[in-house]
Amino acid sequence: MFFSVRDLELRKVEFDTSFPPGKIDFLDPNLHQQGDLRTRGSVELLSHTLGELRVKGHLAVSMTAPCDRCLEAAVSHIDSDFDLFYEPASIAVEQEEVELGEGETEIGYYEGDGIELGEVLREFVILAMPMQKLCQAECKGICPVCGQNRNLTACHCEVKPADDRWAVLKNL
C-alpha cells in the first residue's frame, strides 16, 4: 500500500488493512510472520515542513523466530501503537550527522515521491521484536553434551557447572 506525497498534500489518508504472511519481506530468513498482520491508522503530510510524513496507528501480528536456547520456533506477539516520522531522503543528506537530543523522536527517511506502508511496518516489527526470544519462559535449551532438545528428551548427561564469568555475560 503506497501513499504518495501528492495525494497527502490534499488530505490525510487513513488505512485499515491486513498483510498476509509473505507480503512483507522481513529481510531475515529466521523471522516469519504467522497469520495476518492487521493494522489501521493514518498517514499525513505535516504542514510547515519540507515534506515530513507522520504515520500513526496500531499494528498486531505474531512473529516466529528461533528460540535463543533451543532453536525451535518462538512466537512473539506484537500488539502496539506506533507514531513514526519520515523525512524525504534528500533532506537527510543535508542534515547528516545531526545528533538527536533526549526525548526527540527518531526520524526515518523515505525515497522518491511517497512511502510504502509495508516498509514502514517491516521496520517497526523488527524493532518491536523482543531482545530475548524464548519458545517458553522455562525453555530448558539444548544439552551442551549430547545436543538433544531438553524440552523433548530428559537426557542424563552430567553438565559441569557453568563458569560464573560466562554466566554473567549470558544474562546481559
SS3 category, 114: strand
CB-nearer residue toward Zn ion: 17 or 136? 136
> Maximum distance among all alpha carbons in the chain?
69
State CA 67 to chain mean position distance.
16
Nearest to 60 by CA among 112, 29, 111, 19: 19
Q: Which of 53, 67, 115, 117 lies at the binding interface for Zn ion (CB under 5 A)? A: 67
From candidates 126, 146, 162, 167, binder to Zn ion by CB under 5 A: 146
In this structure, what DSSP letter does residue 95 have? T
Residues 106-145 that bind Zn ion (CB under 5 A): 135, 139, 143, 145
Q: Which of 37, 61, 70, 125 binds Zn ion (CB under 5 A)?
A: 70
Q: How far is the CB of 169 from Zn ion (least distance, A)?
A: 20
**Would you count residue 69 as binding Zn ion (CB under 5 A)?**
yes
